[in-house]
Amino acid sequence: MPRKPNRPLRPPLKKKSDAIEILDRDPRDTRDRRTEGASRDEDAQPERKDAHLNADPRGPRTPRAPRAGGVAPTPRRPRIEGDPVRHPEAHRSALGQPERGERPAARGRGQDGGRNAPTTLTEPERLQKVLAQAGVASRREIEEWVVAGRISVNGLPASLGQKIGPGDRVKVNGKLIPLRFTQRSPRVLIYHKPEGEIVSRDDPEGRPTVFERLPLLRKGRWLAVGRLDFNTSGLLLFTNDGELANKLMHPRYELEREYAVRTLGELTEEQVKSLTEGIQLEDGAAKFNLLRDEGGEGANHWYRVTISEGRNREVRRMFEAIGLTVSRLMRVRYGSVELPSRLKRGMWMEMPEAEACALAGLPAPQQSREQDERAKRPVKLHRTQPR
């Protein structure tokens, strides 16, 4: 009876699939290996369902004679026309090379690669427009900074009307500004300003400012859409988009502002006619688009007025020009945005994204079902203490 060998039993060899056979075949070899039978190849990949994905496209490797130092030489194979594997950029053409300035999608975050992964390039834009969109400052302030030499592009002083693209490096006061050329939805805050706050970041007198109540931004800053006097309350808009702020404030758009005015005394018909037809002020003519009597008791009388300008203390000066004193002034509407009745003094709320895009003239963003349900909920009101 023959003795049992001590060597472990090897599983029977299986015939390689056609895909592996084709990938393992040397392009210079014109022989048909299928007619010679399957022979064991030490370099063949393990046979699995996806084995053809892991197979070595360069074909089987043949051992080389070692050098004197014991290291096998690396042979240089002759280049064959039409062989994409030997092309130095073959791996780029196979995997796909991103366009100039385009970021590859991040792994593990879906096809989009996250909200910040893809960057769609656009044509070069004007410097002040790009910086305003980034929330650095308004266009007018940026133009003043350019004239003062505070902005540089690629190490050189910037010029008015200069256009920049994604590859340019912009610095403000020597600090590099991260710029994005993708269209992002602007953020808009609705704030009910009380009396006793100034619409300015720095006040030599140390008075409280409206910016002390606003939430902090990780990038950019809040820009006030217009101003309200220290003793004036009501609707005040803020945005992080300089282009939207310019659109809401520029005189050529003539957005209406509506105010509730309380005066000490009542207007006569002649005074109403002069206010609606126009009166002369120190800085030019001014008039109300609409003046409506809201009634009152005693010496106090209420009026509703609309005006298409935003000059300094214009409403108060117009009433003072005809001999009446304004005891209280409150802005209740700016353009198409009205002051919500449930938004009390010192409180703010963020405008829904769809409404902010409509205000900026942008298409509404595509939202999922959860986002649509969240948008239908009442907007949350916030009251923060001054910092």
| Catalytic (active-site) positions | 229
Neighbours of 376 (CB within 10 A): 8
Distance in angstroms (rounded) separating the CA atoms of residues 254 and 308 = 5
Between the CA of residue 84 and those of 21, 26, 298, what are the distances in Å?
19, 14, 93
DSSP 8-state class, residue 87: S
Contact 330, 233 (CB under 8 A): yes
CB neighbour burial string for 70-84, b if at least 16 within 10 angstroms, e if fewer: eeeeeeeeeeeeeee
Structure tokens of 222?
Answer: 């809040």
Show Cβ contacts of residue 84 under 8 Å, excluding neighbours closer than 6 positions. 90, 93, 94
Q: Where are the beta strands (DSSP E) in the chain?
A: 125-126, 151-153, 156-157, 163-164, 170-172, 175-176, 188-193, 223-225, 233-239, 257-264, 279-281, 284-286, 290-295, 300-307, 326-334, 337-338, 347-350, 382-383
